[in-house]
Structure 1
Amino acid sequence: MREKDKPAEIPASGPRRGVSRRSVVIAGAAGLGVAGLAVGTATGAVPFSPALQRVLGVASSTPVTQLGSTRVERVYSAARGRQVDLVLILPSKKPPRGLPMSLMLHGLHGNARTAAPSGLMKQLASDVARKAVPAYGYVAVDGGDNYWHQVHPGDDPMAMLLEEVPQWLRARGFAGEDGLPFACSGVSMGGFGALLYGRRRVERRQPPQAVAAVSPALITSWPEMAKRHIFTGSTDWANLDPLRHLDALRDVPTALWCGTEDSFITGVRRYIAATHPAIGYTAKGRHSDTFFHSVVPSLVSFVGKHRPKGD
């Protein structure tokens, strides 16, 4: 069912550092968790009540140690001709072998370490621990400032995503036997990239289970896009622009979120109106982590619902 302009589903905006009652409760509980862990070290028992464990979103007797983990490695990308960061955002410190993974693509001037909106790991870990979503993780890589396509000879980030990321995941025991991400998520330029990646997967007859784009950089005019000096010309841009390929993901569950004060809102509204995605959410907010953070619960839920069954 399509979801559009439903502020009741997720907050339209909110301070990144959390001033809601829920944020205060969780922050307080986390503080108590740290204190409890210190006491446990001295006494040999960790004094967590079931109620506190529920607030933290875990069922372990040592919840503070279970709220997700991030792993960062340097790997060589032949497609990009350089070393890149490979970042794994996991729901626990010891995830199961073969854990399904979704790509998380960063925005302009970003990188793998900054790809995820704030709060993503904690939301993922909490939702998985309380079984709100099945277990899965995210993988991010350095893609450069090129809208996830080849701008310069010898530097092809899309080839890295399609060919190398599955090899890296499989070698580390993630994403099943083929190492193929089941979904793709992205923010800003990464949202543009997620829509493009989904199209490329469809063309290869390996469609993803879901595509999620937070405030995707959908620009509606060539003069405006030309300022970014990314594409060789309007034809190059048109060949890749998701707004020129609206049927590319017609059979792939897709979700978009964007603030109404975001400079990309016109393009996002056009995409939503034309494609009727599973989620087409717009609410008050700018192109900032404040808005990105506010939609993290919906993002994690949407991607989780499309994780392959049985994995």
Structure 2
Amino acid sequence: MVEDYRAAARTLSRRSLFATTGLVGLAAAGAAVAAGVNAATEADDVQRTQHAENIGQTAMGLSPVISTERVYSKARGREIDLVTILPPGATAENLPVSLLLHGLHGTARTAAVGNIADLLAAAVATHVSPAFGFVALDGGDNYWHDHGNGDDPMSMLLDEVPGWLTQRRLAGKDGLPFACTGTSMGGFGALVYARRRTERSQPLSAVATMSPGLLTSWTEMAKRNAFSNADQWAALDPLRNLDKLGPAPVGLWCGDRDRFIDGCRRFIATAHPEIGLVTPGTHTEEYWRTVTPDVLGFLSRHVR
């Protein structure tokens, strides 16, 4: 089966292959599994169904190489999980990686929504995508920024992750991720991370956001207890700091009935991202499984 997909990969474009092979089928199968589990989710939690890790293996005989380690983050003042998601058979030596940021009440272990880990394995094995990996970390619930309580996940991403990746011989000599991918709160964090990398003259090559937590009302954002006040939120809100995001191409995917749809529509209209796609769906695993093939296609075009 793997050889059949590899043959197909040599004759079809990346975009058409994502649309015609089992990759979209994987997403659809995962959506059916997830529908009954997550369709009624109302919090910003990003949850992966208990069967997600089996979908890719069942459909294509391929599985990602996933490892979880405990590391101490000085910036966060605690031990955290560091999860690496690599395609099967790929050498780790200098392998490009994208950060993978989880949503509110999520963890590094739940960051790989939408069956994206299994889709990565299939895409790389079939040569639809150049080889790259994901790295996920526990970021807490503060929208990936310093809340002023000694817990600074953004500094962790900027100052500690490069060293951790270098130790694992990932992401080249500088240990810098080429991209950042985030869902919900993690999408907000991915855009802030892109801004910070630009400020350091180390711009990303791509930013991929699924249902990013772009709210347009302080009343709504205040309910999340992630910012000290409206001014702190305004200083970081990507919608009000578009000129600071930097040159990295941005992809944004959001369901038309998602709680963040108003902010996402505004971002698409004003930031003009490389991809700004609104399709039927809500803030659920079922929806994310419909867009992760396109997310991977976007990332694959910007691997460096």
Q: Calculate the TM-score normalised by the size of structure 1.
A: 0.80
Alpha carbons 1:262, 1:287 under 8 Å: kept? yes
Distance of 2:205 and 2:253 partners within structure 1: 18
Deviates more, 1:242-251 or 1:109-118: 242-251
- Of 253, 271, 274 in structure 1, the residue corresponding to residue 270 of structure 2 is 274
Total equivalences in the alignment: 262
> Relative to 1, partners in 2 of residues 1:28 and 1:285: Cα closer, same or farther, differing over 3 Å?
closer
| Displacement of 1:121 | 1.3
Distance of 2:152 and 2:285 partners within structure 1: 27
> Relative to 1, partners in 2 of residues 1:269 and 1:291: Cα closer, same or farther, differing over 3 Å?
same
| Displacement of 1:173 | 0.9
- Of 223, 243, 247 in structure 2, the residue corresponding to residue 227 of structure 1 is 223
- Of 137, 155, 164 in structure 2, the residue corresponding to residue 168 of structure 1 is 164
Query: What percent of counterpart residues are identical?
Result: 52
Work out whether 1:16 is the aligned partner of 2:30: yes
Match of 1:76 in 2: 72
Secondary structure class of the residue paired with 2:244: coil
| Displacement of 1:153 | 2.7
- Of 142, 146, 161 in structure 2, the residue corresponding to residue 146 of structure 1 is 142
* Cα displacement string for residues 30-88 of structure 1 (whole angstroms, at most 9, x for unaligned residues): 55xxxxxxxxxxxxxxxxxxxxxxx83xxxxxxx4x53210100000000000000000
Superposed, 1:144-223 pairs within 5 Å as 144-223=140-219
* Cα displacement string for residues 127-181 of structure 1 (whole angstroms, at most 9, x for unaligned residues): 1111111000000000000000011432100000001011101001100001100
Distance of 2:210 and 2:285 partners within structure 1: 10
> Relative to 1, partners in 2 of residues 1:128 and 1:303: Cα closer, same or farther, differing over 3 Å?
same
- Of 282, 286, 303 in structure 1, the residue corresponding to residue 282 of structure 2 is 286
Greater helix share, structure number: 2
Which structure 1 residue ranges, 5 or more long, are not aligned? 1-7, 20-26, 32-54, 57-63
Work out whether 1:262 is the aligned partner of 2:276: no
Alpha carbons 2:179, 2:204 under 8 Å: kept? yes
> Relative to 1, partners in 2 of residues 1:28 and 1:275: Cα closer, same or farther, differing over 3 Å?
closer
Q: Calculate the TM-score normalised by the size of structure 2.
A: 0.81
| Displacement of 1:207 | 0.3
Which structure 2 residue ranges, 5 or more long, are not aligned? 1-18, 34-53
Distance of 2:171 and 2:273 partners within structure 1: 25
Alpha carbons 1:250, 1:275 under 8 Å: kept? no
| Displacement of 1:191 | 0.3
Alpha carbons 1:260, 1:283 under 8 Å: kept? yes
Distance of 1:272 and 1:202 partners within structure 2: 20
Alpha carbons 2:114, 2:290 under 8 Å: kept? no
Superposed, 1:114-129 pairs within 5 Å as 114-129=110-125
> Relative to 1, partners in 2 of residues 1:302 and 1:28: Cα closer, same or farther, differing over 3 Å?
closer
* Cα displacement string for residues 212-245 of structure 1 (whole angstroms, at most 9, x for unaligned residues): 1100000001111111121111100000000001
Alpha carbons 1:90, 1:138 under 8 Å: kept? yes
